A and B are shown apart, each in its own frame.
Chain A
Amino acid sequence: MEYIFSIFTITNICMSFLGTVIGIIFGALPGLTATMGVAVFLPFTFGMESVTAFAFLLGIYCGGVFGGSITAILIKTPGTAASAATVLDGYPMAQNGHGYRALSIAAIASFIGGIFSCLILILFAPVLAKFALEFGAPEYFAVGIFGMSIVSSISSKSVLKGIFMACLGLMVGMIGMDPIDGTARFTFGSVDASAGVNLVAALVGLFGLSEVLTKLEGGAAGFRVDQNIHVKREKLDLSLYLKNWWCVLRSAVIGTIVGIIPATGPGIASWLSYNEARRGSKHPEKLGTGVDEGIIASETANNAVTGGALIPLLTLGIPGDPVTAVLMGALLMQGLPTGAALFTQNADVATGIYVMLFIANIFMLLCGLLLINVFVKVLKVPTSVLMPCVMVFTLLGSYCIRGNVFDVKVALVLGVAAYLLEKAEYPIPPMLLGLVLGSMIESNFRRSLLLSKGSCMIFFTRPICVVLLAIAVFTFLFPFIRKWIASAKKRRASETK
């Protein structure tokens, strides 16, 4: 308890607030995402204490998920995919002259969702971590493969391209010293390269610089709020949450469960929850016309994902989506262990992460209720000023990790490569997964085979390992199974007609 109070330093509180503000801006601007926000500002946490760094990054994460609702409600343009369902009721409500009411409902719903998932995180993470302590090299290899199995789900257009990108990430991660022998690989004799490709430099290149280049297209006009928007304050009756308590609870549970499942994310959670709200509503025909229930369902669920997504990351060391992969980069950058070891060796940091997630949700609520007109003004900053600033942040961020220009070159090369590959519809998140999980998979794969004297049967004779590999196979095949079921249903429907 004493430790929890010691976390409440002015620095931690200020960084959490600053992170939330930055996150809301990144979330609100269409084209910029929470992932990009966390990636761009990750290097800035290099010199910070671990808890301070997470106060800042979790603020960006929570703020980023909520921020998308601002533009979704005010101008019918969701800042992120997470807020797409919010448009359905938020925008009509704003059009009826109740923009502030819609934003307040969204802020409070996001807060409830965030706090609920945070409580679930606190309850379940230590239990799962205790279970993970039983793991040996084969189990960790299986966990890594399970983490990689989401490639098929996050490669929307072509699974083959997704697999290629994941492999590319694995190969880029192999540049440098071999984790077992300590021999240099793919370094071409460069001393800088023998230290390996810095994960943070790679992240800012893949998610920051590629976006900076993409925003140049189409006359560089990009996104800008031209309308003269001003949100007028209104009084909000909080009893509406009591009236809709079932909708709130159901949405929070949906969001948290979706967050725990790898390869899903807040976008899926908000649509699922909105759909359930429609099914469970006494007046389903009213949803989509600007009713409270629609905004509550979407916003509670998308923010409940934040705590849920941290459960597999903190307990097993596997990121379920791009933004948690970037947060895993933050753990590695801070020299912290991932998985169960975080709870045994650095339990104070794990506690700090819980507390800071709480604080971030509180700041998100306050910003959403009190500073909304400030964010609307920030949205008016033109792309031609904003993107060069983001570019400088990314280049500077990649430099300051090791004080080395080599890392800036790495960020630039990967940024340009990501930009070109995206043009050919190669998805970037699988590459990030490969980069983050590569070392874990390879070292545990080799250790396992050394233990078994080269026999692959070691992966199929240990129960936890077999279960994890079976789940990995199912996760990988799930999108194909879903497609197959959908087409079979369609066929059957056309046959009955």
Chain B
Amino acid sequence: MTKRSPARFVITLGAFALSVAWAILTSQLKVSSGSSGVNLKTFPTIITGIMIVCSGIVCVKDFLEARRSESSALSVKDIARVVALILLMAAYTLCLEALGFVISTAVLMVAAMFIYGNKNKLVIFAVSILLPVALKLLFQYGLKILLP
């Protein structure tokens, strides 16, 4: 099914907003009194200027195209899956140090495989337990890198 999708325009608008925000941040940078004409603001000022011009033009183009053309949109189920996985990874970054690598990764793997549509419980649990344990051992004893 295809329908008019404003997503592309919204993303471009976000890119434009980001460019403007970054330009404002650049203008607020404090330059030490002894610096010459070329300082820490010079390069970001040029770059944010280019970003504003490019994203501004793309914004107008995408706005006009969004009105004219029809583009394929993601299904609600796909969006829900992507959002769920992003939230899952965000939760993982918060819990990684508190729960430790093995437990948090095992939980992440179970949930991720479920989101990906795996229905084989044996595979889900076997991979979710074996992979974190194997990685922990590899990093701790093989690469001498401590994991939480």
Contacts and interface: CB of A to CB of B under 8 A. Distances in A.
A409 B29 contact: no
B97 to A, nearest CB: 6
A391 B78 CA distance: 18
Given A167-B51, A216-B82, A389-B127, A383 B116 contact: yes
Contact of B86 (A48, A164, A213, A399): A213
A425 interface: yes
Contacts, number: 170
A47 B144 contact: yes
Q: Which 4 residue pairs spanning A and B have beta carbons closest together?
A: A384-B118, A384-B116, A388-B112, A424-B11
B108 A392 contact: yes
B11 A399 contact: no
A218 interface: yes
B17 interface: no
A284 interface: no
A164 B48 CA distance: 9
A390 to B, nearest CB: 10
Nearest to A170: B47
Interface residues of B, number: 65
Interface string B82-114: 100110011011001100010001001100110
A164 B117 contact: no
A181 B40 contact: yes
Interface of B: 7-8, 11-12, 14-15, 18-19, 22, 25, 29-30, 32, 35-40, 42-44, 47-48, 50-51, 54-55, 57-58, 62, 74, 77-78, 81-82, 85-86, 89-90, 92-93, 96-97, 101, 105, 108-109, 112-113, 115-118, 123, 127, 131-132, 135, 139, 143-147
Given A170-B43, A219-B117, 15 more contacts: A44-B143, A158-B58, A216-B82, A218-B78, A219-B77, A382-B118, A385-B127, A389-B127, A395-B108, A396-B105, A396-B135, A396-B147, A409-B93, A420-B11, A424-B11
Interface of A: 44, 46-48, 158, 160-161, 163-164, 167-168, 170-171, 174, 178, 180-181, 183, 185-186, 209, 212-213, 215-221, 382-385, 387-389, 391-392, 395-396, 399-400, 403, 405, 408-409, 412, 416, 419-421, 423-426, 441-442, 445-446, 449-450, 453-454
A185 B144 CA distance: 33
B38 A164 contact: no
B73 to A, nearest CB: 10
A384 B117 contact: yes
A30 to B, nearest CB: 17
Nearest to B40: A178
29 contacts: A47-B144, A158-B58, A164-B19, A164-B51, A164-B55, A167-B47, A167-B48, A167-B54, A180-B40, A183-B30, A185-B29, A185-B44, A186-B22, A213-B85, A217-B74, A217-B81, A220-B81, A383-B116, A388-B108, A392-B108, A392-B109, A395-B92, A399-B96, A403-B146, A420-B11, A426-B11, A426-B15, A446-B38, A454-B38
